[in-house]
Structures are given as structure tokens and as C-alpha cells.
Amino acid sequence: MITILFDGIAYGMLLFVLAAGLSVTLGLMNFVNLAHGAFAMAGGYAALVLVNRLGVPFGLGLVCAFLFSAALGALLERTLYVHVYAKSHLDQVLFTIGLVFMSVAVVDYTMGSSQQFILIPPALQGQVTVLGLDMSKYRLMIIVICGLLTLLLQLGLTRTRFGSRLRAAVDDQRVARGLGINVGAVFAMTFALGSGLAGLGGALGAEILGLDPIFPLKYMIYFLIVVTVGGTSSITGPFLASLLLGIGDVAGKYYVPRLGAFVIYTIMIVVLIWRPQGLFVRRGAR
Amino acid sequence: MTSSSRLAAAIAAQFTDRARWSLLEVLFWLVALSTIWLLPDQHLILAEIVIWALFALSLDLILGYAGIISLGHAAFFGIGAYTAGLLAKHALVGEPVLALLLAGLAGAVFGFLTSFLVLRGTDLTRLMVTLGIALLVRELANRFGWLTGGADGLQGIDMQPVLGLFRFDLYGHTAYIYSLAVLFVLFLLARRIVGSPFGLALLAIKGNPLRASAIGIGADRRLIGIYTLAAAYAGIAGGLLTQTTAFTSLESLSFDRSADGLLVLIIGGTGHLYGGLIGAVVFRFAQDWIATATPQYWQFWIGLFLVLIVLVGRDRIGGWFTPLRRLADRVGAWRPGKTRPTVLPGQGGAP
Amino acid sequence: MLKHVLTPLAVTLGLLAGGPASAQGVVKIGVLEAMTGQQQSTGVQTLAAMKLYMAQHGDTVAGKKIELIVKDDGAVADNSKRLAQELIVRDKVNFLVGFAVTPTALAVAPLATEAKVPTIVANAGTSIITERSPYILRTSFTLPQSSVIIGEWAAKNGIKKVVTIVSDYAPGLDGEKSFTEAFTKGGGQVVEAVKVPLAAPDFAPFLQRARDASPDAIFVFVPSGQGATFVKQFIERGLDKAGIKIIGPGDVTDDDLLNGMGEQVIGTVTAHMYSADHPSALNKAYVEAFKKANNGLRPNFMSVGGYDAMHLIYEALKKTGGDTDGDKLMAAMKGMAWESPRGPISIDPETRDIVQNIYIRKVEKKDGELYNVEFQTFDAVKDPGKAKK
């Protein structure tokens, strides 16, 4: 029972790191980025090449995955995405689906089609027993890293100047602009940060989720669920939603293996209908 | 004659004008008909194009005429596909035309039930709800493997001849003629509907829901209506696919099908019914050509195409059809003794 | 109205009739493989092997030029059916080869019968496939072949309690059924049978469930490509520390992915028909040539299916002297026996299914790489899925 909870939390935290960027971009620019998973995949493969082929230590590989995806995100944001913000949602959907298809083919071409794994150091393999509880070392590490990241994000959002600008821009873009906040720049930064986080998540999650060219398609729906259930006005919403989703998914598979994913989709639809702005939204935020 | 009755007459004339067949339209259908004799060894691919066209036409009804973005239209397609498949497999309704109507009905019922969920919320919520519903239906079909065959697909469908006369053959001749006939009938119906006051009201709602409700056009009932109709169309498209291939699987419910349907519609342009039809031709031949050239990487080109189409501007690509149609209108208007009614300001041209 | 339309059509039809007549001097092979999607590695491996065979043996046989027409079905049965029909009608292919997963082969079976096109299953492993059409042959394997062998082996080698974990589709259920029968007959006990959705991102909860049942071993079947994820999570979950072994058909320790699984996989025992480590001169040459042609990619059990399918086609054409009549080709292929990189194999003339050696293998480290090392051989195993009838 507790093992299930532990697994669910690890899974949920991973989902949060993967999807956090998406929730911010969606909230800030009202932009539907279905290609978010592609940045996660990019990070995963960047770490894979560094660690497996060039022998870079695992920890450094994770940092590089973050940087790589962040750079890629910034580049694409400035060159391509920026032209699509003003377009309709339909255009955004088409554009990002197109990007997903392209990323799938490009990764397939360059990295091969089979599922690959990042070599993790022996110290992180196997299990550790804490208070009589068997815990996977790797999942424990995920929880620690993602927990720290969540704290950092929360502090960054509430305590720094950038954070307050970002929150202002999310709450009311026009007023923020009027106050002299460069919303475009804030957004570019946020996009890069979100992509970087996704990249880190992709590298961290390769061990659990697997890494193959169709990664962005496989997990797109999970990210979207996190965002829709969690709402886009804070990071606590998506965080709680991720945990709920992670625990729900793992427990569902354990207790009713034949129902599995079914539970999650139902939850999503119910939440969407009941609270279209997300489950964890402060009432009257808008 | 009072000014209001003159206005009414002008509007009535507008309606007749909208309903009139332009030369280009007649030509389009003549070309489609001629392929029956001219391209006998392409009937398989043509049948498939017709089914894509019908699916895209159904999407056009909600996207082009009601402004609803759906990422889960495959749900109705798949429901129709499985309905037709199960009816044939268990010999409940052997005759394909009747079974096809039932497939459409199944789509419509499900469309009606889910329309209430889709009405609410913004674009984004709709997007997610439609996607979620499609995923849910797919998962259901997967779970009820004893009924649907699960991941193995619905095997062992044995199709009866159409109307008891025409057997489905290996070369797709019957399949193509049958599908084309269905498409034509449904197209006529759709053309009627979007040209009717109901269709115009929908366009008003799409343009500005608030203003539409201010002039007394209630949105909800009409949106439910068009959504249900589109679902029926998608169900029939799915049923056609099952009947012409004697097979269906979870693929008919997949996200890829919804996305490809959107792509087809976008290629041809939304909001003028022919978009899906033209898009289907372009899409299918392009896919065939690309997939033969680089079987492994055709997704890349499809993706690139989508990205470019958005960056360049959809209206600029999809809209290529409009000037053509205007031209045809003018050509069609050169009839001796017939004067075109004066076009009301702001109402001229295509929607 | 429709009748009027159809009358001239019937004339056209009459002209078209005459079955898949090929262009002069060309034999067309329609390849239906998953070049995209989750089963992609299967398509890549199979096609690479087919091309290798053609490079080694020339592209002309019995005076005919061999031409491959490759279509990507993404392992989606709808596509396979549609593409197969197009290949038959438009391209007039003489053979259909491929079928990464069972549903694709099942969907094409009625077409093979109707068009009388010899259809060679190079990958899919469900027993019933060859029963669906008299024009289907198989060069891959059937799940029962290896599942029964590993079931008997497990019962004799001190394994008493087993949990089965299989992918929830035809081959998985096939494997589970035949393993359970063989294993319980040998005195073993299956304590829990878990079915995993075909597209399962995370095996952890299923593995936890298996662990809580504390068996001696887990019998696992997942499609080629998913094995690595499974083994990773098996170890991460500490099932190896708990003394639980992995057994199963060789799909889980796929040669293609084995090196990426890490050293904990060493010691895993599986039964299968091919290992890249198979100690024969033919196989050594095969592995070397395959790697050379494909950027160091190691051939897996899917590749030999493609390689042997080409061999079957070449030999059949030699036998018929280049005649491409479907029935004559089928007659030529039935009962054919030859030496494949995997060992001696033959086509059962009764069932048109493959008869081959099944090897029990253990994962070991050789020259710094992981291999499935064969240590016991069961000769000429027929498909037990059919032998029972």
C-alpha cells in the first residue's frame, strides 16, 4: 500500500516537472502547445548521447539536458512560436501537432527507432530500505529532485522580481504591459525555462517512462490532463493535479489492472465539466 | 413596395442565389462521376478518399460553420465503424445501406449526448473535452475486447452485397461507387442545411455569439443540432470504411484519425463544404506519394506541411478556392435573360 | 441508376480480371512493415535483413528481377489491409511479406485467399494466423513454440510458483495459455495472471502486484521493443533481489535492446528460436554482414524472419522456374527445408507453419557485450498450438 503511494508520488512529481512549463505557457499566452513533449524528448536524448556515448557523469547529463532543452525552447520560441501567438487556437493546434510529427521523424532518423535507456550509475540502482520500507533508489531521487525543483519554482514565483512580473502577466496581460512589463521577454524566458524543465523531466523519466521517438505523442495527453485538471493560474494546482494523476494511475493499475487508464480520462472529463478552469483554482481569480 | 418588403425580396433572392449550383460545382461532380470509368484501377484509393472527404465534411460542419474545434472527432467515426462492423459480423442487419444508416444513427445519438459537454467552456476546454471523450471511447472499445476484438481489431466481418445486388470486390469498384453515392447524397443534404436559415444562424453564432443572441438567435439549441448532425456524418463515414474494407480496429478511434481529419480539412479550407473533399484528394495522394518515397519518414513531411501552412497563413492556402468560385459564379451568371439580384451591402461573396 | 453505371463497369472488370499478372520478368514483393510507430524496430530489422539477403544473393532469380515494394503500415491493421489490397490490385505483387504484429496479418488473410497471393509472415507469432488462409506461410515463430518449451523447462528446473505478465492481445494470450498448460502439467502453479495493456507506459504497478504474490519466477511476454523497459523496472522494483527470476519467450531479452538493459539482466533464462550468439558459421557471417550494412545494429529474432522469408521466395522461384502462379508457388514452398542463421528450419507442409529448433538461453556477458547464450536445444519443434488438434 505504502509502496504504491510512494511510486505514485514519484510518478506524479515527474509528471509535474514535465508539465509545469506547459501550464505556465498556457496560462500566460493562452497558447496551446501540444509539442511540449518534444522538448522533454529532446532533453532525454541529449542526456542519452552525453552519458552513454561521451561518458559524461549522470548528474551533469541531467543539467545538460535542462540547458539543451531550454536553449532549444528559446530558439524555437523566438523564431517560430512567436509568429503563432496571435493566431487562432486551431492554428496553434495544427502548428504544434506539426512540430510533434517533425520531431518524431527527426529523432527517429538521427537516434534510431528502438527504445533506449540512459545508463544510470550503480549507486542509483536497486532499492534502499528506509524504516522497513523498500524504496527504489531511483524513484527516491526523483522525488527529492522534483521536490526541490517545486520548492524553487514556488519561491521563484513568489519571491523574485521575475516571478512577480510573470504572475502579473498571467493575471492580466494588458495591465502588466501598461505597467511597463515586457511581456514578450517574460514569456520567452518562461518558455525556455518550461522547456528546460521538460527536458530535465525527459532525462530523469527515461528510466521509468522509456525513451523512444514517439514519446511526445505517448505522453501528450498526460501533460494536458495535468494542466486542465490543475488549472493554469498557479503552480500548486498543476502540482496537486500531477500527484493525483500519478497516484491515481499507479493505484488504478495495481488494484484494477484491467481498468487502468480508464479512470484517469474519466476524472479529466468530470473535472472539465464541473470546474472548466481547473480543480485547484482560486475562485474569482479572473 | 415598402422598403422592408424590398429588403425581404432581396434576401430571398440572396437565398436562391446561394442555393444555385455554379458551373464549377457541376463540373466537380461530373469529374468525380467520370472517375468511375476513367480510373478503374484507382478505385481503392478513390474509395478511401471519398471516406476521408466525408469525414472532413463532417468536421467542416462543426468547425467551419459553428467554430467548434474538436480533437476527438474520431470518436463518432469509430462508433459508426464498430456499429457497422458488429451489425455485419453478427448478421444483425445484413444489408449495408440500412446498416450504414444505423451507424449514422449511433454516431448521432452519441453526438447528441456529448454535445452538452462540448457546448460549455472555451476553445481550450472544448479541445480537451473532445480529446478526452475520444480517448475514453477508445479505451472502452479496448476494454470490451469480447465485443470489439480489443487490440486485435474486429476480425471476421463478412459483407453482404449492397442492396442485395452488388458484391464488394477486391478491386474496390463497388466500394467506390457505393461510397461516392453516399457522399453525394450527404453532400446535397449538407449543402441544403448550411444554406438554410439554420445554417446562416450558425454562421452568425460563430462570428459573434453575443451579438447573435442579442438579435434573438439562441446558440445552444443550434450548436447541439449541428454537432449531432456532424456526429451522424462521421458515424456514416466510419461505417463506410468498415463496410468497404470488411474490417475495423481501434485505429478508427485514434487521435491520429482526428488529427488527420483536421489536416485534410485545413488543406482544402474550412467553411465551404468542398474543403474536405478537395483536401482529401490532395492529402491522400500526397501521403501515398511521400510514403512510397520515404516510408519511414513521411510523418516529417506531414508535420512540416502543417507548420508551414500555419506560418504562411491558412486563409492564403485554403482560400485559393474562393476566387475560383467567384469566377465560376460569374461564368454561371452569363445566362441570357437572367439578371442577378442586387447584392446587399456586406453580404456579397462567399462566407 | 446504379445498375446503368455498373454495366460498363462489368466490361472493364472483365478486362482487368486474370489475377495478379506481373510485368514481364519482374517479381514484385509487397512488404508490409511497421516503419513508424511502436513496433518500428521490427520493421527496420526485417527490412534490413531482406535487403541484406538480396545484396548477398543478387536481385535476379530464375531469370526474374526481384523488386521490393515497401509500405509502412505502422503496425496498424487498418492500414495493412488497405495497403495490401492496393499492393495486390494496383502493383500486382506476387508475394506479401512482413506483418510486425498479429492483427495486421489477420486483417490481410482474407485478401490473400481471395487474390491467391502467397503471404509470408515474417514477424507475428500468434498460432492461428496460418489457419486463416491457405496462402499464408510463416518464417517467424509461434508463441506456443517457445512458451511450451519454457513451461516444461521451468517445471523441471525447480520453479514451482509463477506469475504471468503478458501484453493484452492475441500473441500474449496465446503465450500465457500454452505456458500455463505446459507448466501446470509439469506440476507447477500459476498464482496470478496479469495482463498489461499493449501500450503501457509504466510496468511498475503490475510488477509490484506480481512481487506481492512472491512467486519463484515471472513468465513474461511483451512485444519486441518493450522488453527493455520491463527488465529495467523489474530490477528497480528489487524483484531480482527478492529471488524472482524472469522466464519467457525470447522477446523480452531482444538482441536489439539487450545491451541497453544493464548487467542485472544477466542470468535471465528464455526460450526462443534465434540468438545473435547462435554458434554456427552461417550465423556468424550473417551477424557480421548485418552489422556492416546497418551501422553496427545487431540483428534480432525479427530480422531472421525477414531473411528466411526472402530465402523461401528465392528457392520457390527457382523451383517453379520463375513461374509466379500463386498455387504453384505455394506448392513449391510447402515442405521446404534449409539452414537458416538460427539453425535448421522447415515449412510444415500440413500447416504451412515453421518447424524449428527452440533453444533455452541464458543472458551472459561475452567480450563486453550481453548475449543470449544457448545451452539447451529442442530439435524441430512444431507449433504446439496446432499439434494439439
Q: How far is C133 from chain B (nearest CA, A)?
A: 12
Number of A to B CB contacts under 8 A, please give it: 119
Q: Which residues make Cβ contacts (< 8 Å) with residue A248, sequence separation at least 6? A: A8, A263, A264, A267
Pick one of 3.40.50.2300, 3.40.190.10, 3.40.50.12780, 3.20.20.80 as the CATH number of C24-141+282-352: 3.40.50.2300
CB contact under 8 A, C9 and B45: no
Q: Does the beta carbon of A275 lie under 8 angstroms from any beta carbon of chain C?
A: no
pLDDT tens, position by position, B211-254: 777 777 777 888 889 999 999 999 999 999 999 888 888 888 88
Confidence of residue B347 (pLDDT cuts 50, 70, 90): very low
Please report the beta strands in chain A, taking only residues with DSSP state E, as ranges in sequence order.
127-130, 133-136
Q: What percent of chain B has pLDDT over 70?
A: 84
Name which of A120, B259, B128, A190 is nearest C236 in CA terms: A120
* CA distances for C319 relative to A129, C53, C333, angstroms: 66, 18, 9
pLDDT tens, position by position, C363-373: 999 888 899 99
Confidence of residue B331 (pLDDT cuts 50, 70, 90): low
Domain of residue A210 covers 2-216
Residues in chain C: 389
CB contact under 8 A, A113 and C233: no
Domain assignment present for A284: no
**Which of residues B124 and C94 earns the better pLDDT score?**
C94
- Do C256 and C224 touch, CB atoms closer than 8 A? yes
Domain assignment present for A54: yes
Residue A131 is placed in which grid cell?
A: 524504516
- pLDDT, residue B329, reads 55
- pLDDT, residue A273, reads 73
Q: Which residues of chain C have pLDDT under 70?
A: 1-24, 199-201, 224-225, 387-389
Distance between alpha carbon A95 and the CA centroid of its chain, in Å? 20
Q: Report chain C residues whose CB lies below 8 A from the CB of A249.
A: 202, 205
Spell out the domain ranges in chain C.
24-141+282-352, 144-272+358-387
Q: Does the beta carbon of A106 lie under 8 angstroms from any beta carbon of chain B?
A: yes
- Do A5 and A133 touch, CB atoms closer than 8 A? no
d(CA C39, CA C270): 21
With both helix axes pointing from N to C terminus, report the angle between B23-38 and B173-195 in degrees, rounded to the nearest 10.
170
Q: What are phi and psi of C61, to 5 degrees?
A: -140, 135
Residue A159 is placed in which grid cell?
A: 519571491
Q: How far is B256 from chain A (nearest CA, A)?
A: 10
Q: Report chain C residues whose CB lies below 8 A from the CB of B41.
A: 16, 89-90
CATH number of C144-272+358-387: 3.40.50.2300
Query: Domain total for chain A?
Result: 1
Which range of A158-167, B49-58, B62-71, C168-177 scores highest in mean pLDDT? It is B49-58
Going by DSSP bridges, is the β-strand pair C189-196/C161-167 parallel, antiparallel, or unpaired? parallel
Q: Which residues of chain A have pLDDT under 70?
A: 232-233, 257-261, 276-286
Decide: helix, strand or coil at residue C354: strand
Q: How far is C375 from chain B (nearest CA, A)?
A: 35
Decide: helix, strand or coil at residue C374: strand
- pLDDT, residue B160, reads 82
Q: What percent of chain C has pLDDT over 70?
A: 92
What ipTM does this complex have? 0.81
Residue written as grid cell 509466379: C324
Domain assignment present for A221: no
B69, B71, B300 ranked by CB distance to A105: nearest: B300
B44, B152, B296 ranked by CB distance to C170: nearest: B152
Domain assignment present for A49: yes
Confidence of residue B301 (pLDDT cuts 50, 70, 90): confident
Domain assignment present for A96: yes
Share of chain C residues as helix, strand and coil, in percent rounded to the nearest 5: 45, 25, 35
Residues in chain A: 286
Position B18 pLDDT exceeds 70? no
pTM: predicted TM-score of the whole model, two decimal places: 0.82
Q: Report chain A residues whose CB lies below 8 A from the CB of B122.
A: 276
- pLDDT, residue B351, reads 37
Q: What are phi and psi of A284, to 5 degrees?
A: 75, 20
Contacts 24+ apart (CB under 8 A), C110-117: C110/B246, C111/B170, C111/C81, C111/C84, C111/C85, C112/C84, C112/C136, C114/B170, C115/B170, C115/C19, C115/C20, C115/C88, C115/C326, C116/C19, C116/C20, C116/C326, C116/C327, C117/C20, C117/C88, C117/C93, C117/C326
- pLDDT, residue C16, reads 41
Q: Report chain A residues whose CB lies below 8 A from the CB of C229.
A: 115, 210
For chain B, what is the mean pLDDT? Answer: 81
Q: How far apart are the first and last CA of chain C?
A: 51
- pLDDT, residue B302, reads 83
- pLDDT, residue B107, reads 95
d(CA A131, CA A141): 17
Angle at B13 between CA B9 and CA B18, to 5 degrees: 150
Domains belonging to chain B, first-starting first, are 11-333 (1.10.3470)
d(CA C377, CA C362): 12
